[in-house]
Amino acid sequence: MKTKQIIKKARGFTQPYRVEKGRHFRLKDIDPGDTMGFGDEARPQAQELLARGIPLLAELQDRLYAHNQWGLLLIFQAMDAAGKDGAIKHVMSGVNPQGCRVSSFKTPTPAELDHDYLWRCAQALPARGQIGIFNRSYYEDVLVVRVHPELLARQKIPPALVTKHIWKERFEDIRAFERYLGRNGVVVCKFFLHVSKQEQKRRFLERINNPEKNWKFSANDAAEREHWNDYQQAYEDMIRHTATPEAPWHVVPADNKWFTRVVVAAAIIETLAALDLKYPEVGRTKLKELAAAKAALVK
């Protein structure tokens, strides 16, 4: 399969789940179990696309690094056990580690709470030629902090600034921040891995029943299920207010991990391919240097 064919197929996988204007977006319109009609008999075809896409992704990353003008920021958000870690691991398996950095954002430290909520993520933004991956991000501050308002008090914001408009204001700030990044050559590509409550339960039980996966489970994971509906509303509101053509959301069905990984890989390939990345052209002076070096080596 040629590069153009892979890119064309990639677009077919991403378009149903790409959200650029979220005003009328409804989370229930995306089925967490959707596989675009790929049943068990067609699953190998989808996996073949992923297998062929990984080397292409590595090539595109190499061009990104050599081109050294664009940066790519990939943001992953999801409920627990939706498969963020696995998607990052499998999709980015062929990427050169020198050109990629994964940053995971958990509970803010006291030092981080002394700064604005964007600060800690801003420290980890990718440089030109690099891919930065955020496993959770500043979006936690319009998700978990919204579901658990007591966490907002820890952020030391002057009380006069904590009004009923705070979430709307944060959405405005995030849109402005991502627009700023785009205007400076950092392309933002965002993924919400949409897992069902039933599938999350199955994966939690698997982690409990399998000794080799016990380390993945914590009591807090189960406790957060009590707030499932609140989180679903928060995610829907987040996507509605922060999906833009410059920084779209990809709401990816996550009940079938193999399908999730295909869609994520397709979206990254499509994003990089659209940048028309090229290796730097070599001028006459450089060509003379290469010719002289070759002559000396041959001699």
Please give the angle made by the CA atoms of 235, 22 and 176, to the nearest 5 degrees.
Answer: 85
Q: Could you read off the pLDDT of 101-118 as tens digits, one per residue?
A: 999 999 999 999 999 999
Determine the Cα–Cα distance for residues 16 and 104; give it in Å rounded to an integer.
28
- Which residues, in sequence order, are CB contacts of 165 under 8 Å at separation 6+? none
Of 261, 194, 255, the closest CA to residue 25 belongs to: 194
Structural domain boundaries, residue 95: 3-298
Q: What is the CATH number of the domain that holds 230?
A: 3.40.50.300
Q: Please, which pLDDT band fits residue 297 given cuts at 50, 70 and 90? A: confident
Report pLDDT for 236.
98
Q: Per-residue pLDDT averaged across 155-180, rounded?
A: 97
Q: Per-residue pLDDT averaged across 137-161, rounded?
A: 96
Q: Could you read off the pLDDT of 68-80 as tens digits, one per residue?
A: 999 999 999 999 9
Q: Per-residue pLDDT averaged across 234-252, rounded?
A: 97
Q: Residue 42 above 70 pLDDT?
A: no
Q: Which residues of 12-29 are buried (b: 16+ CB within 10 A; e: fewer)?
A: ebbeebbbeebeebebee
pTM: 0.93
Q: Per-residue pLDDT averaged across 199-226, rounded?
A: 89
Number of folded domains that form the chain: 1
